[in-house]
Amino acid sequence: MTESSLTEKLMTAIGDQEKTGVNTDALNTVIEQQANRINSNNETEQARKNVLTSIMSDNKVDYRFSDFSQKINQSYDEIAQYAKDAKSKHVEPSFIKENVNKMLNELKEAYFDNIDYQLEKIEHDKKLFSENYQPRNPYDNPLVELLKRQDFKANLESLSQTNFDSYLDKLDLTKLSNYEINLLIAKGRSFESPNTNKIYAFKLENNKLKPYQNTETWKTLTSNENQLNILKRQKQQNRINRIQVATKSGQIRSIGFDSQYILSKI
């Protein structure tokens, strides 16, 4: 029974009470409280959806296509252009090299400062995403859910070892809750049913305990986190020479922080 249907039943009850001349103040109070609860739940649900929408919008692509990555690409081109312009004006080569090295070092530091920021943001986004992917209380009516669980458990307990497997064949596992899946696994193990592994494999495959991990948003967040951590470790080990960034046309480009490449092209 949903909250809205409960409200309808209460309204009907009030109508019946009024016909018989019974004081309906108490029922009116219940109706008001129920309406306030529904409004509050709706506001909470909308806030939850807004959080998810924001995170999904910010994490559609991998880090190489981020706005900051494209700015790094643009800045690199500006450094190369500076070197060309300086040479055309007959600036001392050693001075050009010194400035190019300085600008590339600043670009490198800016890039890796942003990596630290992005890793913190990913950690924050993953926490919010996991907390808001499903409502904190996914049940319209906890009492109804409790009765549903009791019925399912009672049905399982009534099964014998011989008809357990045939019972499984009739179930649509995709429509079962985590609680029901876990009960099936426990029952299957007690019967030493060969189908137990199938149920457990389904649970793992669909990540029933953490369904948000099956989303594209979570996969993008995790992929970016892994790649950025690799880059961070490489920098810490002083093994980073080149990075990958996206151009405005959407192409992936490898750029380096060694001035020699830029100077060789002018």
Report the pLDDT value the prediction gives residue 16, as an integer from 0 to 100. 57
What are the structure tokens assigned to 102, written together? 């300085």
What string of pLDDT tens digits covers the 266 residues of the chain? 454 555 555 456 555 555 555 455 554 555 555 555 545 555 666 776 777 777 777 766 677 888 888 899 999 999 999 999 999 999 999 999 999 999 999 999 999 999 999 899 999 989 888 887 865 555 556 677 778 888 999 989 999 988 898 888 888 888 888 888 889 999 999 988 888 888 888 887 776 557 788 888 888 899 999 989 998 998 888 887 789 988 888 889 999 888 988 998 88
8 A C-beta contact, residue 141 and residue 6: yes
- Output the DSSP codes for 143-182: HHHHHHHHHHHHHHHT--HHHHHHHHHT--GGG--HHHHH
What are the structure tokens assigned to 16, written together? 């019946």
Report the pLDDT value the prediction gives residue 55, as an integer from 0 to 100. 76
d(CA 14, CA 40): 23
Report the pLDDT value the prediction gives residue 147, as an integer from 0 to 100. 81
Which residue's structure tokens are 């300086």?
Answer: 86
CA atoms in the 13 A half-sphere facing the CB of 143: 4
Q: How far is CA 175 from CA 38, 96, 171, 172, 178, in A?
A: 26, 67, 8, 6, 10
Report the pLDDT value the prediction gives residue 24, as an integer from 0 to 100. 52
What are the structure tokens assigned to 226, written together? 């892994």
Reported pTM? 0.55
Radius of gyration of the chain (CA): 30
Spell out where the chain has E strands: 242-246, 252-256
Ramachandran region of residue 2, left (φ > 0), alpha (ψ -120 to 50) or beta?
beta
Report the pLDDT value the prediction gives residue 1, as an integer from 0 to 100. 46
| C-beta atoms surrounding 127 within 10 Å | 10
What are the structure tokens assigned to 103, written together? 């600008």
Report the pLDDT value the prediction gives residue 142, as an integer from 0 to 100. 67
8 A C-beta contact, residue 83 and residue 266: yes
Which residue's structure tokens are 């692509």?
Answer: 61
- Output the DSSP codes for 99-115: HHHHHHHHHHHHHHHHH
d(CA 216, CA 61): 10
